[in-house]
Amino acid sequence: MTIRVLVVDDHPLYREGLVAVVSTMAGAEVVGEAADGADAVVQARRLLPDVVVMDLHMPGLSGIDATRQIVREVPSAAIVVLTMLDGDQPIFSALRAGARGYLLKGADRAEIERAIAAVARGEAVFSSAIAGLVLSFFAGGAREEASPFPALTPREREVLDLVARGLTNAEVARRLCLSDKTVRNHVSNVFSKLHVRGRTEAVARARDAGLGSPAAGAGLR
């Protein structure tokens, strides 16, 4: 049986490389490509792949939210995450969303091929670099409850969570009983500490870490 694979990554060159890897893999074929989470969901519904190789940090609908939707709408598709994000929160968020595998982008061709074959068989597979974190997750260890973005203050994290839910600065200010200027300062500090260039990227990072609401989006302005 041929494994039908959908490749999802917003970087064209990396996506092309993944397509080349899967195309030369015995017993597998690439049935589609997507450059963002929203298109990944559309393609998964249309193509009904056996495996989706999913990046996490993408514009618009994040890989976490796309994984959650695909698992719900195309339950026969197994998701293996392939990303640069190696922190606790992205890993746990991906697992909660329904991913069966999690690899880092440093993985070589053989590791990627083994992961695709494994999740297609219904197995779970994880990069050796994060195996300890995954074991802690399934064991209910303290890492699962670790706060995302430890560089942020509790207030900054609260502001980021509300921004990721789609609230504007003015709405955040009203919700937290703060001045507009104070909220702007918090948002600016969040951007600086997360090393992001703007609101859209900050929201994507926040949702990848499990903050905000999957339905949010109105606050990206």
Binning pLDDT at 50, 70 and 90, where does residue 88 land? confident
Give residue 139's pLDDT: 64
When pLDDT is cut at 50, 70 and 90, the band that residue 119 belongs to is very high
**Which domains are delineated in the chain?**
3-142 (3.40.50.2300), 154-208 (1.10.10.10)
Confidence of residue 147 (pLDDT cuts 50, 70, 90): low
Q: What is the mean pLDDT of the chain?
A: 86
Which is more confident, 144 or 118? 118
Q: Categorize the per-residue pLDDT at 3 as very low, low, confident or very high, splitting at 50, 70 and 90.
A: very high
More confident residue, 187 or 210: 187
Q: Is the dihedral of CA 76, 164, 129, 197 positive or negative?
A: positive
Q: What confidence tens digit (pLDDT) does each residue in 19-59 have?
A: 999 999 999 999 999 999 999 999 999 999 999 999 998 88
Higher pLDDT residue, 9 or 93? 9
Q: What is the DSSP string of the chain?
A: -PEEEEEE-S-HHHHHHHHHHHHTSTTEEEEEEESSHHHHHHHHHHH--SEEEE-SS-SSS-HHHHHHHHHHH-TTPEEEEEES--SHHHHHHHHHHT-SEEEETT--HHHHHHHHHHHHTT--EE-GGGHHHHHHHHTT-GGGGPPS-TTS-HHHHHHHHHHHTT--HHHHHHHHT--HHHHHHHHHHHHHHHT-SSHHHHHHHHHHTT-S-TT--TT--
